[in-house]
Amino acid sequence: LVSRISKHIQDGTPVENILAVTFTNKAAAEMRERLEHSLDQDVSKLWMGTFHSIGFRLLVSHSKTKFKVISQSKQFSIIKRLLSDHKMDVDPAKVIRFINGQKDEGYRATTQSGLYEQAYLLYEQHCHESHLIDFGELLLRSYELLRDNERIREHYKSRFDYILVDEFQDTNVIQYEWLRLLTDTKNN
């Protein structure tokens, strides 16, 4: 991936017109360091990071409301408390897996038909009221931002000449759909 990015830059593509996505902060930092070393130039304007960090960047740039990203342990404690408060006898870890799985597939809670769906709705309401976002929500909201706002979507589609994804085969549904919104099949 570093070689491909290097080649695009050497061929004249402006650094800010490349989006490189990977799965870990460590990989992104290493790729950035290798690029700076091999090109001997500043690549700080390169959009490189994890799906979550780029989703965060999009949301901060375009969201009208402030929010706080919560850790997985904070997510667990919130769900555990909500389940206790509402006397729902279900394993918090299973609820988290359900919620995160739904978000990975691009789904929001829409009904109260089952216990997990009820817990998802309670959790989503709590997070909304408290301006909290978990990692799955970062991707889901940034996807919804691009999907629902043509002006923003077109801005980024025209901005990025190249979108490169490390370990593309490991993308989940929401990551894949997020990428599809940014790509222009007529060009690259």
| Those residues with Cβ within 8 angstroms of residue 167's Cβ, 6 or more apart along the chain or in another chain | 22, 23
Return the structure tokens found at 108.
Answer: 């929001």
Return the structure tokens found at 17.
Answer: 């017109």
Please report, in tens digits, the pLDDT of each residue of the chain (188 residues total).
999 999 999 999 999 999 999 999 999 999 999 998 888 888 889 999 999 999 999 999 998 889 999 999 999 999 999 999 999 999 999 999 999 999 999 998 887 788 999 999 999 999 999 999 999 999 999 999 999 999 999 999 999 999 999 989 899 999 999 999 998 654 55
- Say what the pTM is: 0.90
